[in-house]
Amino acid sequence: MVKQDFTITSYEVRDIRFPTSQHLDGSDAMNKDPDYSAAYVIFYTDDKQVEGHGMTFTCGRGTEVCCSAIDALAGKFINKKLSELIVDMRATHRICTGDSQLRWIGPEKGAIHLATAAVINAIWDLWAKAEGKPLWKLVVDLTPEQFVQAIDFRYITDAITPEEAIELLKQNEAGKAAREAEMREKGYPAYTTSAGWLGYSDDKVRRLCREAKEQGFTHFKQKVGSDKASDIRRAQLIREEIGDEGVLMMDANQVWDVKEAITWMEDLLQFKPHFIEEPTSPDDVLGHAAIRKALYPRTRVATGEHIQNRIIFKQLFQAEAIDFCQIDSCRVAGVNEVLSILLMARKFNIPVVPHAGGVGLCEYVQHLSLIDYICVSATTEGRILEFVDHLHEHFLDPVVMKHGRYMTPLAPGYSIQMKRESIEDYTFPEGKVHKELAASK
């Protein structure tokens, strides 16, 4: 039973957009002018002090599509008691993924899957608040059987079975308390992408690299793929700033064909990139495998930010197509599906290096890395969590960074609740910020 039970009485959906394209924050070879946005849902309960918040990350236009999809799903939870939902989180997950008509516009991918992430994450947020725990702690305190009961194993039992998953979790039970204590004391290691956006000037990149080093970061990511000569120049610049001891990662954001990825990276290997992220289409499992075969071990391949579901992750693992698994907190269908991917990554011995940044993704994914370390992988070797220093001020419980590490969040919930003022000001198109922007044009 849940510590406090609530009934969901209503919900609210908001299209929230931040005009980050004005300063080219988030710019890369594929996404040249993103406006970081959120399709945001709030579940209200019969206790006016307790709400479940969730969101899925978008880049401006199209957020309204995800909001419509959330509307199609959220109504299914009205008049549901939290205790009824959490007794079988796998069944709760299928309330969204199992709708036979809505499934037609997926299945389990695209806007309907992004919407499922927002809705399901809001239920987890509500559950964690009801228990008075941060989301990571709620999951850490589950038994292996309860952990596995949250997962839909349909389509992945050829990679991992529920029985195997329970056994993997039981193997790590003995050290959980020590790992939790370590994370509470030291936090989780991070790398920064804030210095590497493609639209930034060289001088700004130099300044941001120096600032990041002063803040304790040792791992840095560079966006590549738009112009090779520029990539080479920028890589040389970053390498000069971070030194040979600094770790440089590169991210092409899906812009290349397979052969192009290989030849382009051949010219960047001189800068010793730790990995190349999203070198080609996220749906191309065999393409990733071909790129990895050509470049390994001179560099490694990472992807996951746009991998649509657990099935594609399964195939990437089975095809030995990636060296790093980059889970995203709301590209797949929320906490439930992420847990399945963490377990498969553990079985295939692929380190989890999550995607973060955007708006709210750092707040979300810090919980998932803690779950991975404390419950699933039991190691931080080869694992590091992305950090981007944008838009945290809009959240009630923003991430806290010290010496290049995420400090473990302690407030109840999933850290995703936005300040009401931010929700109102940035709601598109009627919010104050958007009215002012329209008036200035």
Give the catalytic positions in this structure: 223, 355
Nearest to 205 by CA among 2, 24, 354: 24
In degrees and rounded to multiples of 5, residue 353 shows phi and psi of: -125, 85
- Contact status, residue 271 vs residue 262, Cβ threshold 8 Å: no
Element (H, E) at 241: helix 228-242
Determine whether 440 is exposed, middle or buried from the number of CB atoms within 10 Å of its CB (0-12, 13-18, 19+).
Answer: exposed
The DSSP secondary structure of 124-178, one letter per residue, reads: HHHHHHHHTSBHHHHHHTS-HHHHHHT---TTTTTT--HHHHHHHHHHTGGGHHH
Nearest to 43 by CA among 3, 84, 83, 71: 71
- Rounded Cα gap, residues 29 and 239, in angstroms: 20
- Contact status, residue 159 vs residue 318, Cβ threshold 8 Å: yes
DSSP 3-state of 237 = helix
In degrees and rounded to multiples of 5, residue 405 shows phi and psi of: -135, 145
- Contact status, residue 50 vs residue 43, Cβ threshold 8 Å: no
